[in-house]
Amino acid sequence: MDTNSASPGRGTPPGPPDPGLLRRLYRDLALTRAIDRESLALQRQGVFPAYVQVLGQEAAQVGSAAALERGRDFAFPTYRELGAAVALDADLTGYLASHRALWHGGLWNPRECGLAPLNAVVGGPVPHAVGWAMGAQLDGTGGCALAYFGDGASSQGDIHEAMNFAGVFRLPVVFFCQNNRWALSVPLREQVAGGSVAARAAGYGMPGVQVDGNDVLAVHTAVAEAVRRGREGGGPTVVEALTYRRAPHSTSDDPTRYRGTPEEAAEEAEWAGRDPLELARRLLLAEGAADPEWLDRTDRAAALRARRHADEVAALPEPSGEEMFTQVLEHPTAALREQQEEWREWHGYRADWEVAENG
């Protein structure tokens, strides 16, 4: 595997892995893969206006989120963390509702599962996570924040400010970079100086770890250690999961316009040969944690559940436009109420006009 500077063995647990943990991780990987496929189909059918695939990054997301403690920690996702939603046991129909673009931030309860609403701002979840971590430190909850971002977002100024702040105040936060080697259409070599996001951690006075992002157990171990360190007052950690974006950036993207050199084709084939689910299957079999029958049964169960969530999200009724105003503030301001009245008046005009036009 060409991972530039990944340290072999880093993130590997010291003893035999827990069979129960391995089976849980595989169930979440299989469900993430199955829902990802159904979601792409929903986009092709016109149910979703657009979708961002997770293909190839399932282990990085599942392994990291599974290291959190529900009710104590909190994860801050971008728009591509389906695997984190699965691992944190979020309402997955509610999660998928975000991709229908009819609801702001999805329909799941962030407080219940510890997963913040989707954030489409490049690098946006990181300062949010740091703010939450500051609150957890002040309140003495022992909670730890997990901030998701990519190698492209690592070039944003917000990331620098958030890491510096967290380093100064030794906040309990894990900066989790999914280095999938492509910042939309720009390859890693052209936008990350030095080639390593983890190496930047030293400049902020915190440890930085590179881990094989396609190895779900290695990711889980690295993040669990970073969370433990944060809880004990050791401050933040950067964990860089080395992986590969095997799908287009989104369904609106055409990677053939920017990927095509022989070296890039070889790199893509190499990572495709290290599929996270296949690696996990081999691990469970090698450790005696499951047999082929259990693995196949788990895959079938995941496919059925994914289909159910797809059917449910497609059947959800469209929300009332009133929610633009009623879901913003518990106690609306005078200006907001005035805007709501204007909207109702306009909505009434439009309804009358449509009746007149259609007879």
Which segments within the chain are labelled E, that is strand? 74-76, 145-150, 173-179, 182-183, 186-187, 208-212, 237-242
Q: Which are the contacts of 116, defined by CB distance < 8 A and separation ≥ 6?
A: 74, 75, 76, 77, 110, 125, 128, 132
How many CA atoms does the CB half-sphere of 174 hold within 13 Å? 34
Whose tokens are 């007879």? That residue is: 359
Handedness of CA 257, 262, 264, 267 (dihedral sign): positive
Distance CA 220, CA 285 (A): 19
Please state the separation of Cα 139 from the chain's center in Å: 26
Q: Which residues are part of the catalytic machinery?
A: 245, 249, 258
Count of residues making up the chain? 359
Distance CA 56, CA 244 (A): 6
